[in-house]
Amino acid sequence: MIALGPADPCVHTLLALLADPHHVLSIGLPEWDKTIRLARQARLLGVLAQRIQPHDELRSAVPECVLGHLRSATVYSAHRGHLLRMELTALAKALPPELPVVVLKGAAYMLQKLDLARGRLPSDVDLMVAHSDLDPAEAALRNAGWEFEEIDAYTERYYRQWSHELPPLRVPGHPLEVDLHHTITPVTGRLKPDTTLLFADLQALPGERFLVLHPLDQILHAVVHLFQDSDLQAHLRDLVDIDGLLRAHVHSHDDWQALAARAVQHRVERPLWYALRYCRAWLTTPVPEDLPLATPPAAVIRLFDWVFPRCTLPRIPDQPAGISRRTAARLGSLRHQWLRLPPGLLVRQIAHKSMRAWRARITLRQQSE
Amino acid sequence: MTSQQPQEPQHTQPTRIRDLPLTLLEKRFSTASLALDYGAAIVRVRSRLGVFVRDFQQVYGAFAVADAPPFADFHTEVCGGQGLRSFLRPQSRFLIDGIQPFDPFPKAQALPHFEWGVNWCFAQRFNQHVLLHAGALALGDRAVIMAAPPGAGKSTLTAAMMLRGFRMLSDEFGVLCPRTGKLWPMLKPVALKNRAVDVIRDFADNAILGPLYKGTRKGDVAHLAPLAASVDARQRPARPCLLLFPSFRDGATLNIRRLPGEEAFARVAFNSFNYALLGQISFAAVAEVVAACPAFALEYSRLDEAIEAIRTMIAESTSDAVAA
Amino acid sequence: MTRLLYRQLGDGAVVFDTANWHTHILTPAAAVIFEVFAEAGNGDAIAESRALELLREELDVDPGSPEMQQVLRSLQEMGMLAG
């Protein structure tokens, strides 16, 4: 097992539970106290609940006070799932039927009825259309009541020029936002999956208006998302998604070979290598040893093994972050910025953000005086 | 739910918070080895704010002092303001899991801030129960649910009923367990507002009221401490047997009107904190309560008269009654 | 009709629509109409013309009154009426 850094011992408990819910049989109340908090912080409480609750013999081993939290999380994720379904129904009505529209991430897992969708907390709706379909899709949504959130001109320019999505859209009063993408990664990012390949292999789902990515592309999208598309902060749940997708879509020797080959085609070999490393180590994902993926230099692996757990694993929320965690978070955040934007742009982005921070501070001072 | 704690044997007197010397209480708060058992939830609290601890002792006096339990539902902290600002205008902040969900209060109002904070945590995170916006009281294990919009005098009536011998389950949350159909106590001090403070002070000699906080967001507020009888039964759920929609009107003669089932359903469901979130679960649970409990609108001006009427209604209600 | 959960409370009733999680409150009159339509449809939606006919013939009410229009709109939303 890869060292978890200064993580609370109950992080082991959480990982063990995610890997095998039978672990509930060996947990005492003080451990539950922390494990529930860690799972909630990682937004994985609903997932945990759904892995335990269906089994009578496991459920009966869980103390009543803990079960309450699991039930609550199940109710909440069911509610979020319902909201997502309602939003998809509304979107299906609003979008012209001839326009091919892909659903990504949570919505795709739900429409495919994958096990990993159970208890998962979907946040927003991610849609993808071909670049040439962006304008008609945007027009159709705005016609049907979706509006852009109010953003300043800089942010809007950033979205439109450099991002892989439009600013978030929302119907006033609707609880969920819609993100309209034209590819799965930022235009300026260093990782550039092959968009033509993505669109060539889209899959229809019986009885559904929306398309989904090819199963292997779903995995690679989640991998890219884990390493590039989010702040390198507390995204154990992304790793849990990857684990769930691997278990759902990849079974035979040939499947694994195909996944590796697909990663090479998309030029995301390296991120896949790391994702598989941590999936296997932390979530006991059955990853074969002999995949045709190039191994990174040993020194880089050592660095990654130091940074990744510190940025990824949840911590007991009211205990202060240790120095190593803060350092790792900064390294992670810098790396995130660097991966996303070309260097010239990075300077501008940071300068703009700092300016805004200054302005906010000045406003605050004026208010307090 | 907190069934992991064995129930106190009836014959031993628990040590109560009011019996602890203030310095000891402060020490427990500062090390977070103090946990409050509200019945439905256990809340761990850390604080170094002297004013908070002092006020807390007054309104939580009857609560038992127990060693910090191995499991708590919420981990909270009440602390002072941050930075230079806190010297100019002392503040209190409420944290749950290290996060500050809302703006600070003036330091002197740390206790109302805490009360508000616990309500917020509970309403956010306890979706295993249907959380009715209602007072709940019981005679034995038969409970009345009193739902009313703010300003209808629900808290005043709840407080008065406890002082006349009802067991209070809660003033704010009717905690309905959808699996058992029973109400869990969520026993908190009753926040009395404005005129209600003097009404309750004059109503009974056994009323223990905390300090009066002037000019809070909800006006002048003081808390009525739950009595020991209610506190000691906080782990005993009760079965709902009566639905009541009280309204206070100055000078009104007592007026009780039976409500049709579907109207009672609407009033209970749409006054709940999380009815919509639970979907089918809360639909079934609320329907079950309405089918089992006769429902009445009750208009009153004299507390004792209303309380006697409620006592009679509970005695007469049979648990299989169907609203006409 | 598995989409709708119907619960009689006294003479009135409440309905939960599992398709959109809406709750409908039915007065005693609306509850009778619901039950008549449900029986006539035997688990399926009924045609609007059939619904109007049932209202006039079986229940002797005027489908054009504002109250009936409101009840019909609710039943339509619940998927009780086809078309």
**Distance of residue C13 Cα from the nearest chain B Cα, in angstroms:** 6
pLDDT single digits (tens) A78-93: 999 999 999 999 999 9
Is position C57 within any domain?
A: yes
Distance from CA of A65 to the nearest CA of B (A): 5
B12 touches chain A (CB under 8 A): no
Report the chain A residue with the minimal C-alpha distance to residue B131: A72
Q: Is residue C83 part of a domain?
A: no
pLDDT tens sequence across A289-327: 889 998 988 887 887 788 788 878 888 877 666 656 665
Q: Which residues of B touch A319 (CB under 8 A)?
A: 98
For residue A67, the distance in angstroms to the closest alpha carbon of chain B comes to 9
Question: Does the distance separating the beta carbons of B4 and A63 come in below 8 Å?
Answer: yes
Taking an 8 Å cut-off on Cβ atoms, the answer to whether B324 and C23 are in contact is no
In a domain? residue C51: yes
Q: Is residue C49 part of a domain?
A: yes
How many independent structural domains does chain C possess? Answer: 1
Tell me, what's the pLDDT at B134? 95
What is the pLDDT of chain A when averaged over all its residues?
84
Q: Mean pLDDT, chain B, as a whole number?
A: 91
User: Using an 8 Å Cβ cutoff, are C80 and C41 in contact?
Assistant: yes
Task: Decide if B250 contacts B54 (C-beta within 8 A).
Answer: no
Interface of A with B in 63-92 (CB under 8 A): 63-69, 71-72, 75-76, 78-79, 82
Neighbours of A12 (CB within 10 A): 17
Over residues B298-306, mean pLDDT: 96
Interhelix angle A236-249/A215-224, rounded to 10 degrees, is 160
Secondary structure of residue B240 in the 3-state scheme: strand
d(CA A3, CA C10): 63
The answer to whether residue C17 sits within a structural domain is yes
Q: Between chains, do A78 and B95 touch, taking CB under 8 Å as contact? A: no
* Domain, as residue range, for C41: 4-78
CB of B279 less than 8 A from some CB of A: yes
pLDDT at A105 over 70: yes
Look at B128 and A317 and tell me if their CB atoms are within 8 Å: no
Identify the band that residue A9 occupies on the pLDDT scale cut at 50, 70 and 90: confident
Tell me whether residues C14 and B323 touch, CB distance under 8 A: no
Joined tokens for residue A275: 């994702």
Q: Does the pLDDT at position B69 exceed 60? A: yes
* CA atoms of A72 and A285, how far apart (whole Å): 28
The closest CB to that of C26, out of B262, B264, B284, belongs to: B262
Q: Between A366 and A185, where is the model more confident?
A: A185
Q: For residue B96, what is the nearest residue in chain A, using CA coordinates?
A: A318
Judged by a CB distance cut-off of 8 A, whether residue B274 touches chain C is no
Judge whether C21 lies within some domain: yes
Put simply, whether B322 touches C (Cβ < 8 Å) is yes
- In chain B, the N- to C-terminal Cα span, in Å, equals 34
What tokens were used for A334?
């810098």
The Cα of B150 is separated from the nearest Cα of chain A by a number of Å equal to 25
**Is B101 an interface residue toward C (CB < 8 Å)?**
no
Burial class of residue A130 (count of CB atoms within 10 Å of its CB; 0-12, 13-18, 19+): middle
Q: Which residue of A has its CA nearest to B44?
A: A33
Q: Give the span between the Cα atoms of B209 and B224, in whole angstroms.
A: 5
User: What angle in degrees, to the nearest 10, is found between the helix axes of A323-340 and A343-368?
Assistant: 120
pTM strictly above 0.90? no
Q: Lowest mean pLDDT: which of A139-148, A292-301, B209-218, B315-324?
A: B315-324
Residue C25 lies inside a defined structural domain of this protein = yes
Residue A161, pLDDT above cutoff 50: yes
The alpha carbon of B65 is separated from its chain's Cα centroid by a whole number of angstroms, namely: 19
- From chain A, the residues in CB contact with B75 under 8 A are 37, 317-318
Ranked by mean pLDDT, the top range of A179-188, B145-154, B233-242 is B233-242
Which residue of chain A comes nearest to B1, CA vs CA?
A: A65
pLDDT of residue A145: 94
The pLDDT of residue B324 is 36
Q: With a CB-CB cutoff of 8 Å, which residues 23-82 of chain B face chain A? A: 42, 69-73, 75, 77
Closest residue in B to C17 (Cα–Cα):
B280
Is C30 within a domain?
A: yes
